[in-house]
Structure 1
Amino acid sequence: MVSDGTVFAGYTIDRQLGRGGMGSVYLARHPRLPRWTALKLLNQELFSDKEIRARFEREADLVAQLDHPNIVTVFDRGVEDDQLWISMQYIDGIDASMLDPATLPPDRALQIIGETAAALDYAHRAGVLHRDVKPANILLARSQSQERVYLTDFGIARLRDDSGHLTETGSFTATLAYAAPEQLTGVALDHRADQYSLACTLYTLLTGSAPYESASPAAVITGHLQSPPPPVSPRRAGLAPNLDAVMARALAKRPADRFSSCEEFVAAAQRALRTGTTGARPIARPPSGAHGQPFVAMQPMRPVHVPGTPAHPIGAAPMAARTPAQAPMPAHPQMPPRAGAPMGLPQPGMHPPMPGPAPSGQGWGSIFGVYLGLFAGVIVIAVLIAVLSNM
């Protein structure tokens, strides 16, 4: 603890703003500039823990590389009297855990989550995972014009491609109520773990409790790992049931089943609330590439070759396309063809296509054949008359 009025690393301490598991945050006056600074100090009793110190220093190094309007800026870091410290941007306001979900409009909750999603996607593109997204780490700045949202506390963040581990095997530091299943099982993480935590945060802002909230840590872990995502609409009157499908996808157990980004998740949630759509994945096309229904004026597609049947050479037309196509007769003037029907098919009021002309013989061979047939017919008739006369 640092008392008020103390000068620490050149900063004059005004008062304590908060305290967490790793350290405390103080409001301090900058030693040279006329501005307030949030000064974060590592708990002195943890200074000898190399793992904790490495994580604390990593926070400053990671966040100092991020320049985004929704991420708290880191100014400086150092060591003073065997105590690590970080100087950060001071946000005059509250954190999202202090909001009352009973009176928080859903649109405002989505606006808060939306700005947080923009910060997360920016960090992910820079290769940084937050790994501890929760309401307490979302700061809301007071402003006369509009609310400003900041994401803070990258204390356990790490680079995706970093092979070093700052936590011992089996240890877990993220807040349990908002942890993705893959964080609980110790498998490799990617940006979709932060999306899961962001969805848990939205669930809390809308309902007042986390999806798998329980007094038993084992029950919370079981919920994240095994229980289906609980629907959000029954937990608060007036929420669109379409939102349940969006939340279920963001809270999917498998990262591959979630949205591709945090902002895509938020956009789907906004559509569900405002237009009634669910934001679910589009229906996949059949493997052949054919459409589920015909399109007007669509050209014939080459059929897919089935094993055991003769295949057309590459570039060859289908059988139906090899015979000369006949153009349909014009539609009856008082019976126009149906709109949206496939071209080339007979419609009510439309004459069917005229049949093609019969093949005509050409050359002396064809004429000789005709005379030969007539001669044979005359002989057969004469024989029949002779037989009948003798009877």
Structure 2
Amino acid sequence: AQSDSSNTLSDIDQSLVLTGSVLANKYKVLGLLGEGAMAVVYYVRELKTGKLYAAKTLKFVEEELVARFAREVKIYEQLKHANIVDALECVPGPGKTWISIMELIEGDSLEKLLEDRGPIQDPEVFSSILSQLCDGLEYAHERGVIHRDLKPDNIIIRSDVEGTSIKILDFGLAKLQQDLQRLTKSGVVLGSPAYMSPEQCMGDPLDIRSDIYSLGVLAFEMLTGKLPYEEKTPVAMMRAHCDPDRLPLTLSSANITSLSMLPFQRILSKMLEFEPADRYEDLNELKRDLHQWWQQYVNRPTGSRPYFTHVNLPKLKTPVPDLDQEISLEEKIELESLVNRQINTRLQSAKDKFQPKRLPKRSFNPRTFMPLAFGFAALIIVSAVLLIANAINSTRVNSRHETTINQTKQVKKQTLEETQKPTERQGNRRKIVGPVERF
């Protein structure tokens, strides 16, 4: 089966095959526009209107992949948003190929912008790009579409008198790369490991939080001009993303002096959490925090537009200190302290893993213990009161009993003395007559 699949791979220069041909009797192929690891893009002109478009197709003609590509493009065509490249339709090409017709965007990729100009130092430009990325991704997520391959090369940037605008390319095509992997040589890694989430590197199921992680990597690169992990091979890069005990990232090298790095550092750290459950749940939650950061901590030019529009939600979950808008010495010290604490925590966690297993400590919950303690103390007090009362009562009864005995003894004594007096006194007594003797 492996040999049959490998024979279906096309090693022919696609630009020579399609250039000059007409697709679906509607689009004429003018020439090669670009080429990636798995796809090739052409200039095409619509015969009816003369308008220029871009046409993308797979470099490989494996039947299952081509069918998957057509289905993915059909989903992609439903995404109509200002920050997503518009896909018009999918038309059949030569043989068994399918070709996606998309709007042609004039501009440079974010990758080229960073290579030519270095890290973004203008907070207005940075916030504009990041907010538009959030808007485009949120629109797709609400419709059940995950990008899976966010990277600077898939983001087109245009600047004009109205400002900076961006377009996101290639939604969902990264999933095809996983299927394509089995058709390529062993050891060849397709995709963008530098921007992959840990769960994507490990081949686990993905959701929107994977895109949020990739967006965090993009934000880090825009601010610093470098990747979070500078590894030399794709495998080493994936290993770095999959390390749960990796050292925390810091924006101390960012060149935006008018941004307060400490509040944004906390937002970025949450975007790049190893566990998806510890990241933002969705783009709306992320934009809420970004909006508050932009409003409170960025030294914004007068009349600047508001960014990071979001649905009203509860107050920011992670409070940030009320610092000056400009970076101060105290803020840098606090940022370094925060990073050092995180590093020490990570190191201690690693040390604990190599220590011998210990018996778990008995859990102690003060909230559970205190009511029991109060109840036990009350029981002791009540018992003591009852014992004291009983003792007092017993003392009183004994005293009364002794008094009664003494009185009885006294009466007996007196009676005995009277019975022992001389008989002459008896003659002087008055005879007592009973009731019968009176009659």
Provide the TM-score with structure 1 as the length reference: 0.64
When residues 272 and 234 of structure 1 are mapped into structure 2, their CA distance, relative to the original with a 3 A threshold, is farther
The answer for the alignment partner of 1:185 in structure 2 is 202
Report whether the alignment pairs 1:12 with 2:28: yes
How much has 1:266 moved relative to structure 2?
Answer: 4.4
Give the unaligned 5+ runs of structure 1: 160-164, 284-302, 312-391
Report whether the alignment pairs 1:244 with 2:257: no
The answer for the alignment partner of 2:49 in structure 1 is 33
When residues 12 and 229 of structure 1 are mapped into structure 2, their CA distance, relative to the original with a 3 A threshold, is farther
Q: Conserved in 2, the CA contact under 8 Å of 1:240 and 1:276?
A: yes
Report whether the alignment pairs 1:123 with 2:140: yes
Distance 2:122 2:67 in 1: 40
Once the two structures are overlaid, the 10-residue window that deviates more, 133-142 or 50-59, is 50-59
Distance 1:237 1:68 in 2: 30
The equivalences for 1:239-278 within 5 A come to: 239-242=259-262, 243-269=264-290, 271-272=292-293, 275-276=296-297
The answer for the alignment partner of 2:318 in structure 1 is 281
Q: Conserved in 2, the CA contact under 8 Å of 1:70 and 1:149?
A: yes
Distance 1:36 1:142 in 2: 20
Report whether the alignment pairs 1:52 with 2:74: no
Distance 2:242 2:209 in 1: 15
The answer for the alignment partner of 1:65 in structure 2 is 78
Larger Rg: 2
The answer for the alignment partner of 2:388 in structure 1 is none
The answer for the alignment partner of 1:223 in structure 2 is 240
Report whether the alignment pairs 1:42 with 2:58: yes
The answer for the alignment partner of 1:93 in structure 2 is 107
How much has 1:166 moved relative to structure 2?
Answer: 4.4
Which of 119, 133, 149 is residue 132 of structure 1 equivalent to? 149
How much has 1:191 moved relative to structure 2?
Answer: 0.3
Aligned length: 284
Q: Conserved in 1, the CA contact under 8 Å of 2:146 and 2:172?
A: no
Which structure shows the higher helix fraction?
A: 2
Give the unaligned 5+ runs of structure 2: 1-13, 299-314, 321-366, 376-439
Letter in 1 for 2:276: P
Letter in 2 for 1:210: L
Identity %: 29
Distance 1:91 1:139 in 2: 8
Distance 1:144 1:282 in 2: 37
Q: Conserved in 2, the CA contact under 8 Å of 1:229 and 1:251?
A: no
The answer for the alignment partner of 1:145 in structure 2 is 162
Letter in 2 for 1:58: R
- CA root-mean-square deviation: 3.3
Letter in 2 for 1:193: S
How much has 1:113 moved relative to structure 2?
Answer: 1.8
The equivalences for 1:344-355 within 5 A come to: none
Q: Conserved in 1, the CA contact under 8 Å of 2:28 and 2:44?
A: yes
How much has 1:270 moved relative to structure 2?
Answer: 5.2
Q: Conserved in 2, the CA contact under 8 Å of 1:272 and 1:279?
A: no
Q: Conserved in 1, the CA contact under 8 Å of 2:220 and 2:227?
A: yes
Provide the TM-score with structure 2 as the length reference: 0.57
| CA offset digits 1:53-103 (Å, max 9, x no partner) | 234223311111112111111111122212321100111111111112345
